[in-house]
Amino acid sequence: MHEDKEGFLYPKVDHAICIDCGMCEKVCPVIHQNESKQPLKVYAAKNGNEAQRLRSSSGGVFILLAEQIIKQGGVVFGARFDKNWEVEHCYVETFEELEPLMRSKYVQSRIGNTYKEAEQFLKQGRQVLFVGTSCQIAGLKKFLRKEYDNLLAVDFICHGVPSPGVWRKYMEEIKTSQSEVAGKNMISLLSLKTIPVITSVNFREKQLGGYSWKKYGFVVHQKSSFKGDQNTVLLSTKFSRDAYMKGFLQNYYLRLSCFACPAKSGKSGSDLTIADYWGVHLYYPMLDDDKGTSAIFVQTQKGLDVVKRISGLFLFESTFEEATSNNQAYYASYPVPPLRMKFWELYKRNNKTLREIYNNTSKISFLQRVKNSIHYRLIILYHKALNK
């Protein structure tokens, strides 16, 4: 694997050892795509343990699935931050190890050797829960080349994966700069005269600082030597004001393949697809306490059996139309933004902060914003027609 100029990893063939077997192409989920399919069932769901739900990004479904697998002596694969605050896939086998796998991480994760590790556990007969983006689950299923009754594959509705390279740059700016990287809430690092030791990153804070499920915050904690190594807030800002989150939601640094995702609409081969139930207040206002409600799209009978067995999970039957009315990313990819090329031109000069690059990129006319909105709405209407 090698990193391109946009900070994404791509496979590179080593021709010195390649035997031209064609196996890499045979298992490629982009070349060999599955058919779209409708879910068997759709639910609105909430974890009955409110403490767990508040620590989760959405309704707290993942932690209940994971705990059930651990209780069965199984293994859970998911994404966590490594020591450098980059995102990697890993596996855990105990309840204590589950916490780092919780919550959304808006960075593409490194899969590493986890497909091989999952295959080894499956062959041993252990229960395996593998959670990833739709393309990662599609890749896992193609890699395995057979179905395993002891595998529970779970994906989630994905906006698209942002560049690990951009995230790396932003983290360095948070740690070393007192500029406008994080807006007014940024602590002046000059006054500290030391590079902070980051202890946690939460893209979807909904407890502290007046944040909630719908109006979540991007919060970074540090270890403060001035307060006996206690955790203190280094950065706390609304997601709509954070430079990294704004660029992500404007799709400036999504991976190019995300603009024509080959694994949406049930193509991944997952047993369950989970997501925020955005718009739940329109259909089930009694569920909307702004602490997090999930949507569960049941793709297989195995997934349905698992969901019905989970203790502590409150399920409310919904419909596909209701759950996707504000979750069009279930079946539709975002179009390539007209300003994506401009962003990368500015980024590669490497002489501005991410906030400055974003601000310079986003200077577009009202007419262009209207055109962009119409373009995406036409895509949504097209996919809705296909799914009828």
| Of residues 218, 225, 227, 231, the one with CA closest to residue 183 | 218
Q: Does residue 20 form part of some domain?
A: no
Q: Do both 115 and 237 map to the same domain?
A: no
Q: Which residue has the tokens 């501005």?
A: 352
Output the CA torsion 66→257→87→128 (10° steps).
20
Q: What is the mean pLDDT of the chain?
A: 90
Question: Can you say how many angstroms the Cα of residue 153 is from the centroid of all Cα atoms in its chain?
Answer: 15
pTM of the model: 0.89
Provide the domain limits for residue 170: 164-246
Gyration radius (Cα) of the chain, Å = 21
Q: Does residue 358 form part of some domain?
A: yes
Q: At what angle do helices 134-144 and 114-123 cross, to 10 degrees?
A: 50
Q: Which residue has the tokens 């609409």?
A: 265
pLDDT of 184 above 60: no
Q: Does residue 376 form part of some domain?
A: yes
Q: What is the CATH number of the domain that holds 323?
A: 3.40.640
Q: Do both 75 and 108 map to the same domain?
A: yes
Q: Do both 276 and 374 map to the same domain?
A: no
Q: Do both 86 and 204 map to the same domain?
A: no
The predicted structure's pLDDT at residue 194? 65
179 falls in which pLDDT band (50, 70, 90)? Answer: very low
196 falls in which pLDDT band (50, 70, 90)? Answer: confident
Quote the CA–CA distance of 312 and 114 in Å, as a whole number.
29
Quote the CA–CA distance of 192 and 204 in Å, as a whole number.
27
Q: Does residue 293 form part of some domain?
A: yes
Q: Does residue 345 form part of some domain?
A: yes
pLDDT of 357 above 50: yes
Lowest mean pLDDT among 17-26, 329-338, 357-366: 357-366
Q: Do both 206 and 171 map to the same domain?
A: yes
Q: Of all helices (H) and strands (E), which one includes residue 128? A: strand 128-131
Tell which of 216, 246, 276 closes a domain.
246
> For the chain, what is the domain count?
3
Tell which of 330, 356, 372 closes a domain.
330
Q: Does residue 155 form part of some domain?
A: yes
Q: Do both 294 and 361 map to the same domain?
A: no
Q: Does residue 143 form part of some domain?
A: yes
Q: Do both 73 and 61 map to the same domain?
A: yes
Comparing 180 with 288, the larger pLDDT belongs to 288
Query: How do residues 364-387 score in pLDDT, each as one tens digit?
Result: 645 555 665 665 566 566 556 655
Angle, CA 160 vertex, CA 186 and CA 315 arms, to 5°: 95
Q: Do both 128 and 177 map to the same domain?
A: no
Quote the CA–CA distance of 133 and 33 in Å, as a whole number.
15
Q: Do both 134 and 276 map to the same domain?
A: yes
Q: Do both 156 and 171 map to the same domain?
A: no
Q: Do both 267 and 120 map to the same domain?
A: yes
Residues 244, 238 contacting (CB under 8 angstroms): no
Question: Can you say how many angstroms the Cα of residue 52 is from the centroid of all Cα atoms in its chain?
Answer: 19
Q: Do both 148 and 266 map to the same domain?
A: yes
The contacts of residue 359 (CB under 8 Å, 6+ apart) are none
Q: Does residue 25 form part of some domain?
A: no
Tell which of 330, 349, 378 closes a domain.
330
The predicted structure's pLDDT at residue 373? 62
The predicted structure's pLDDT at residue 370? 63
Query: How do residues 260-300 score in pLDDT, each as one tens digit?
Result: 999 999 999 999 999 999 999 999 999 999 999 999 999 99
